[in-house]
A and B are shown apart, each in its own frame.
Chain A
Amino acid sequence: MKARITVTLKNGVLDPQGKAIEHALSGLGFDGVGQVRQGKVFDIELTGTDKARAEADLKAMCDKLLANTVIENYSVAIT
């Protein structure tokens, strides 16, 4: 089983890196770019086959380590 965890900044949290990327994109001539927010992606291979358990484990991984829930949201997708 494979899973992808996406971690993004919560709304209202300033993202200076996203801002810099936004400016760089418009500098390259891409007009029509609105707000850019930078996040992280984790691709995780799992040895088990129980999807429900995997989902619970992945959420626990996010809460305990992969995301800082003070400033970040996360989503879990199992493929």
Chain B
Amino acid sequence: MKSAVVLLPGLNRDRDMIAALTKISGQAPATVWQTDTEIPDVDLIAIPGGFSFGDYLRCGAIAARMPVMRAVAEKAAKGVMVIGVCNGFQILVEAGLLPGALMRNASLKFVCRQVKLEIANANTMFTRRYQPGQIIRSPVAHHDGNYFADAETLARLEGEGQVVFRYAEGTNPNGSINDIAGIVSEKGNVLGLMPHPENLIEAAHGGSDGRALFEGALGIAA
């Protein structure tokens, strides 16, 4: 299974994402730059975290309008898996590939800590290696992770099983509605989440709870 990582000025978790994909899949992902209009033939496209364009205007707003995102949208429409982590999640909602919006944390503080996540839907290509209701650990590091959607959208997300990760055991770090930490698109092939599973994939990280996400998506034996 092949992967590609989207690079934008101001991202700072791109090397982490490249390292995680390389270690887990055994081959380095292709990289695509913001002005690229074509993405190579891959199974998974990852948009890493960071502060693209300095978070100017709104987090992810400028990045979402760069040419590479049109290419990402075309691939997503064809069923290619897309994962956006942290700023990548913000970019996906700003690009309209996922519903809702990510607002300033309710505490107004940047949060950098470990949280617990409940697998709210284990029946997606990203969570199939987890058990329903399983609690995993994951680092978070963000200032704008407070997920919001209007009542109608929220009801649809909950009803269709599109909420896949939820902050568990009182660890919601940002005031996100319904403790939402990650959602998938209607077709299930686009995932956005605020936590950083790529930063918990091996013993040196203090655990490997995030590894199964990439193994599941890439169809790699555990």
The residues of A with any CB-CB pair to B shorter than 8 Å are 13-14, 16-17, 20, 64-66, 68, 70-71
- A interface SS class: helix
Among candidates A16, A64, A65, residue contacting B106 with C-beta atoms closer than 8 Å? A16
Which of B28-36, B57-65, B121-129 touches A? B57-65
Among candidates A17, A20, A68, residue contacting B58 with C-beta atoms closer than 8 Å? A68
Which 3 residue pairs across A and B have the least CB separation, nearest first? A70-B101, A71-B101, A16-B106
| B residues near A66, Cβ cutoff 8 Å | 57
Q: Which of A16, A20, A64, A70 has the most CB of B within 10 A?
A: A70
Among candidates A14, A65, A70, residue contacting B65 with C-beta atoms closer than 8 Å? A65
CB distance from A14 to the nearest CB of B (A): 7
Task: Check if B104 sits within 8 Å of A71, measured CB to CB.
Answer: no
The residues of B with any CB-CB pair to A shorter than 8 Å are 57-58, 61, 65, 93-94, 99-101, 103-108, 146, 148-150, 175
A19 to B93, CA, bound (A): 25
User: What are 26 A-B pairs at a CB distance below 8 A?
Assistant: A13-B103, A14-B103, A16-B103, A16-B104, A16-B105, A16-B107, A16-B108, A16-B175, A17-B104, A17-B108, A20-B108, A65-B65, A66-B57, A68-B58, A68-B61, A68-B94, A68-B101, A70-B93, A70-B99, A70-B100, A70-B101, A70-B148, A70-B149, A70-B150, A71-B103, A71-B148
Beyond A16-B103, A20-B108, 13 additional pairs, beta carbon < 8 A: A13-B148, A14-B146, A14-B148, A16-B104, A16-B105, A16-B107, A64-B65, A65-B61, A65-B65, A68-B58, A68-B61, A70-B101, A71-B148
A68 to B103, CA, bound (A): 11
| A residues near B148, Cβ cutoff 8 Å | 13-14, 70-71
A68 to B149, CA, bound (A): 12
| A residues near B108, Cβ cutoff 8 Å | 16-17, 20
Output the nearest chain B residue to A40 by Cβ-Cβ distance: B57
CB distance from A44 to the nearest CB of B (A): 14
A17 to B106, CA, bound (A): 8
| B residues near A65, Cβ cutoff 8 Å | 57, 61, 65
Q: Which of A13, A64, A65 has the most CB of B within 10 A?
A: A65
